[in-house]
Structure 1
Amino acid sequence: MSKDSDEFVRSIARGFSIIEALGKPPGRHTLAEAAQLAGLSRATARRILATLVTLNYCAADGRYFSLRPRALGLGLSYLNALPYWGYAQRALEDLRNEIGESCALAVLDEREIVYALRLPARRILSTNLGIGSRLPAHLVSLGRVLLAALPAEKRAAYLASGDFKPVTPRTETDPQRIGEILARIENEGYAWVDGELDPAICGIAVPLRDQIGAVVAAISINMISGTMSEAAAKKKYLIPLKRTAQDIRSQMVSAR
């Protein structure tokens, strides 16, 4: 829907932009800061903040505004609506306990992945990533699995419009090469990424499919880079990963 459409409610869009602005570090902001982050005038931001305070989504403390716990319900509404989320929590916990490595589940949102679950196993991998964290999709195994599942025209548009900046010396930045990698992932059914986002971390991921076979998410196992090659990771972890994905899918089917 276009923002110029008669059905587009601008006030709702502005309200969400303020909520997103207040969710950015350092966790509380002045009116001027919130307005700037949301791309709104101070007068508009003031009205929206007053409304959010009244609705208990936001707290006011002198010059500063911050989100209240009620705002967390917006994200939980999405997670609770996912037909696989509850099953995935248990399944990924079982997988992590079995293999002793970090496990995660993510969905695709435009050019980024969003973590819906992340279960760290080793302290060295216990980064600041958690539920709701975002990463560029092409840099991680979860994202590449999800990009590989896009329809051909959407994948081509993604590659054509992408700005693939290097993050580490190993980051792949060539759109043609990324396209070839995605085609291989689609054919082989898994993705492997080593050190392209963080030189200390590598990961292997597989798609999570719904009842009709559509890819709705991806699950991954992450390890310390240098401890395992792609061939070794595939031999050790691909079967447990695919089994876990199938277990979650089976729970979705039986719950219908």
Structure 2
Amino acid sequence: MPKLKRNETEERATDFVESLDRGLRLLQMFGTTAGPMTLSDLARAAELPRATARRILFTLQRGGFVATDGKLFSLTPHVLTLAASYLRSNQLVAVLQPVLDRVATAAQEISSLAVLDGDDVVFIARGSPMRVFSGGLEIGYRLPAFCTSVGRAMLGQFDDAALAARLKKMKREALTPRTATDPKLLLAQIAADRARGFSLVDREAEPHFRSISVPVRRYDDTIVAAINMGAHVDRVPTQELIDRFLPLLREGAVSVRSQLL
């Protein structure tokens, strides 16, 4: 008798490992507050039964990812091996890190690489001037895509209809008094950024910071990331972002296009 082929719904149901999903969800809950957390707090945050959360936590402890004093639980440095694996295996980081370093040195400002993750952007690499290590958006830092220059540069990959639908569903909370949240206004701004090939955001994501970004395209013209530079508003005027930073970013993005698969 021939074997019946499973339909797509059945395949999704049988191929899904619920315990792994719960474990990953529990790991993410550690970032919701500063410091160690109790079993009850973690179970509540992950929306899991207390007994289930307890088994997961002790499994993670056995794997070296979680430590406990018997009452409070905290992540161990071993968790960073997950992020390190992503960064080591990510082609974007390998190809663009030299670009970020070159751009940062030329402009004497921090440069960053970000990717789109749902409705957020995640910064996955950065370059800093050699003269001094300065603060900025660290690797792994997340921000809403709609109000950041890297986010708008990447959202430009969608056509107007898809972008309008995406913006309408997106959570759009103002981060500063200048943050644009109206979906029609955002659609017009992102469409304009798409046409000119860069995005400039002035104090919408952070109150005293402005930045400029360009999309990073792979060999087939698909946008896969964005690179940016920014500075405090009291130090670098808007026009300087365009006159001095934009050419460096554009050259950097173009230089890697043929290397990205």
Whether the TM-score (by the shorter chain) exceeds 0.5 is: yes
Stretch of structure 1 that moved more, 115-124 or 188-197: 115-124
1:161 partnered with 2:174: no
Identity %: 34
Paired residue for 1:126?
135
Using the alignment, how far apart are the partners of 1:133 and 1:112 within structure 2?
A: 10
Return the offset for 1:120.
5.2
Paired residue for 1:19?
27
How has the CA–CA distance of structure 1 residues 52 and 163 changed in structure 2, closer, same or farther, with 3 Å as cutoff? closer
Using the alignment, how far apart are the partners of 1:224 and 1:77 within structure 2?
A: 33
Where do residues 136-215 of structure 1 align in structure 2 (5 Å cutoff)? 136-215=144-223
Deviations 1:191-240 (A, max 9, x none): 00001111210000001112222111100010112544444422222111
Return the offset for 1:126.
1.7
Report SS of the residue matched to 1:5.
Answer: helix
Return the offset for 1:165.
2.3
Report SS of the residue matched to 2:91.
Answer: coil
Look up the equivalent residue of 2:95 and give its one-letter code.
Y
Look up the equivalent residue of 2:166 and give its one-letter code.
Y
How has the CA–CA distance of structure 1 residues 170 and 125 changed in structure 2, closer, same or farther, with 3 Å as cutoff? farther
Using the alignment, how far apart are the partners of 2:189 and 2:134 within structure 1?
A: 25
Paired residue for 2:89?
81
Return the offset for 1:36.
1.6
1:112 partnered with 2:125: no
Contact 1:199 1:225 survives alignment (8 Å): no
Report SS of the residue matched to 2:220.
Answer: coil
Where do residues 232-247 of structure 1 align in structure 2 (5 Å cutoff)? 232-247=240-255
Report SS of the residue matched to 1:164.
Answer: coil
1:10 partnered with 2:18: yes
How has the CA–CA distance of structure 1 residues 183 and 240 changed in structure 2, closer, same or farther, with 3 Å as cutoff? same
Structure 2 residue runs without a partner (length 5+): 1-7
Return the offset for 1:19.
0.9
Where do residues 47-62 of structure 1 align in structure 2 (5 Å cutoff)? 47-62=55-70
Q: How many residues align?
A: 252
Using the alignment, how far apart are the partners of 1:76 and 1:102 within structure 2?
A: 21
Return the offset for 1:84.
2.3
Contact 1:201 1:225 survives alignment (8 Å): yes
Contact 2:153 2:214 survives alignment (8 Å): yes
Using the alignment, how far apart are the partners of 1:225 and 1:196 within structure 2?
A: 12
Return the offset for 1:156.
2.2
Using the alignment, how far apart are the partners of 2:112 and 2:203 within structure 1?
A: 17
Using the alignment, how far apart are the partners of 1:206 and 1:76 within structure 2?
A: 26
Larger Rg: 2
Stretch of structure 1 that moved more, 195-204 or 74-83: 74-83
How has the CA–CA distance of structure 1 residues 164 and 23 changed in structure 2, closer, same or farther, with 3 Å as cutoff? closer
Return the offset for 1:77.
2.2
Contact 1:210 1:249 survives alignment (8 Å): yes
Stretch of structure 1 that moved more, 117-126 or 6-15: 117-126
How has the CA–CA distance of structure 1 residues 184 and 126 changed in structure 2, closer, same or farther, with 3 Å as cutoff? same
Using the alignment, how far apart are the partners of 1:75 and 1:154 within structure 2?
A: 31
1:248 partnered with 2:246: no
Using the alignment, how far apart are the partners of 1:108 and 1:213 within structure 2?
A: 16
TM superposition score normalised by structure 1: 0.89
Q: Provide the aligned C-alpha RMSD in A.
A: 2.5
Contact 2:115 2:124 survives alignment (8 Å): yes
Stretch of structure 1 that moved more, 92-101 or 226-235: 226-235
